[in-house]
């Protein structure tokens, strides 16, 4: 699948767990983002809820890169930020919708 972020066209592919694309610096990963190729790879064998979290995590990498936010230079910051957003974005979004409905609903 392809998508655009800030004018850059990215590709996302789900791949088998043993794919070389999920090997980063000699480590097995559940997902990986290749900035130079604008490619994201995610382990297709994951349960759906974990697959979604990994997709969000990798999208945060893609979005920060595409908008010139330089988290890449500081892996100690980048990975925890991506992990946090990947794990909690749905909950943040759900609470946001409840607040918006409460504040802006007609009634």
Residues 77-93: pLDDT tens digits?
Answer: 888 899 999 999 999 99
Give the pLDDT of residue 73.
Answer: 57
In this structure, which long-range contacts are made by residues 24-31, counting pairs with CB atoms below 8 Å and at least 24 apart in sequence?
A: 30/54, 31/55, 31/57, 31/58
> What 8-state DSSP symbol labels residue 22?
G
User: Which residue do the tokens 């925890």 mark?
Assistant: 80
Segment 3-60, tens digit of pLDDT: 999 999 999 999 999 999 999 989 999 999 999 999 999 999 999 999 999 999 999 9
Answer for the pair 64, 72: CB distance below 8 angstroms, yes or no: yes
pLDDT at 71 over 70: no
């Amino acid at each position: 699948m392809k998508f655009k972020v800030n004018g850059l066209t990215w590709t996302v592919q789900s791949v088998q767990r043993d794919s070389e694309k999920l090997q980063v610096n000699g480590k097995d990963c559940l997902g990986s983002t290749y900035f130079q190729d604008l490619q994201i790879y995610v382990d297709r064998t994951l349960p759906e809820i974990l697959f979604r979290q990994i997709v969000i995590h990798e999208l945060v990498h893609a979005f920060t890169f595409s908008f010139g936010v330089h988290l890449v230079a500081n892996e100690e910051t980048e990975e925890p930020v991506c992990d946090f957003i990947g794990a909690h974005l749905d909950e943040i979004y759900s609470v946001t919708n409840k607040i918006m409905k409460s504040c802006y609903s007609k009634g």
